Structure formats: structure tokens, C-alpha cells
Amino acid sequence: MRGGAARMFHAIDSLPVPVIGRVHGAALGGGAGLAAVCDVVVATEDAVFGFTEVTLGILPAMISPYVVRKIGLSAAREWCLNGARFSALRAQEIGLAHEVVSAERLDLAVERHIQLFRKAAPSAIAATKRLLRDVYGRRPADVMALTVDAIANQRVSPEGQEGLSAFLEKRAAAWTGRGPQASGPGTRRTPE
């Protein structure tokens, strides 16, 4: 099916939930492209990245929009044009990876990010992911109406109201699993 991989990258990038990449080993070509569509990437110190398509005589075409958005045009030109492999630390320097840890600490680091995301309202995460995609590369004046509408809509949403109430009442919000009404649409229970 022509374009199936392109649709897959778009689908992952558009997911309304946080996507955490756990890189242990090599993330080359499409694997590095997958890192580019993740919201957070945690890699081991010995992980290797590379946009290696040109060394095979092909292009990083389907991943290019996500790669350029993630690491910027300058880094994309360097790494996509030479096809070289690079370290996890270099991936972190250019913004492809967010955290580099020892192999023994990889699962702990990923779990820490999961716990951080569980503190956030699912609808706020989804709306923020959409908002960040919509405002990227645009002038603030050009997105003013979009940003004003986004915050106004979220404030009056059920989770927006619950979050503000929880803050004022000095309690955990319902979606954390520790607040009142901790079940229902858009909430997640977590073990105490």
C-alpha cells in the first residue's frame, strides 16, 4: 500500500496521548524517524542514531517533516545529507533525544516520564499537542486567535474545571486517581 508508512508516522505524531520513545540499540533510518515523532525520547548511552537513507541511495522523505521540526533544518541538513551514525549524546544535543541514561536506568527513566504525564489532564495533553503543532513556525500575531480560543475552550472543559477546582481546593485532580470522581471518561486510575 503506497504511503502506508507515511500515514503511520502521521498517525503516531497526531496521537492525542504522550508518546515516549525507549531507545536501546540502533535507531537508524525509519527508527530515527520514529524518535522524531515521539514526544519524549529516552536513550541508553550506547544507543546509535542515524538518518542513513542516503547511504542506501534513497531519501528520508516520509520522516523529513518530523525530523526537520524536531531537530531543525541545520542539524537535519548535516545528518540527513551525510547519512552518518551519531551517538545518543549527539542526539540529545540536537533535540532528537531528551534523556540519555545507562542501560540499567532506562526503565526507571521511562517510568519517571510516565508518572509525570499521569499528573496531567488527558484532554489538556491532547489539546496542547495539537496546539504546539499548529503554532510551530508561525508568528505570535498570526496565531493569537488560535491560542486565545484554545485556552478558553480548555478552561471550560470538564477537565479544565476539575483542574482549577482541585487547585483551589488544594487536592489532587480526579484524573490522577487520587481526587474525587476519579473514574469516568478521560480519567486514569493509578495505584497508590
Any idea which residues carry the catalytic annotation?
53
Cell matching residue 92? 540529545
Hey, which bits of the chain come out as E strands? 20-23, 26-28, 40-44, 48-50, 85-87, 99-101
Q: Is the dihedral of CA 63, 65, 68, 70 positive or negative?
A: negative
Q: What torsion, rounded to 10 degrees, do the Cα atoms 95, 101, 105, 106 define?
A: 40
CA distances from 37 to 18, 68, 80 (A): 10, 11, 16
Q: Give, as one character, the DSSP assignment of residue 16.
A: S
Contact between residue 49 and residue 97 where contact means Cβ atoms under 8 Å apart: yes
H or E element: which one contains 112? helix 106-118
CB 40 within 8 A of CB 18: yes
- Phi/psi of residue 28, each to 5°? -115, 145
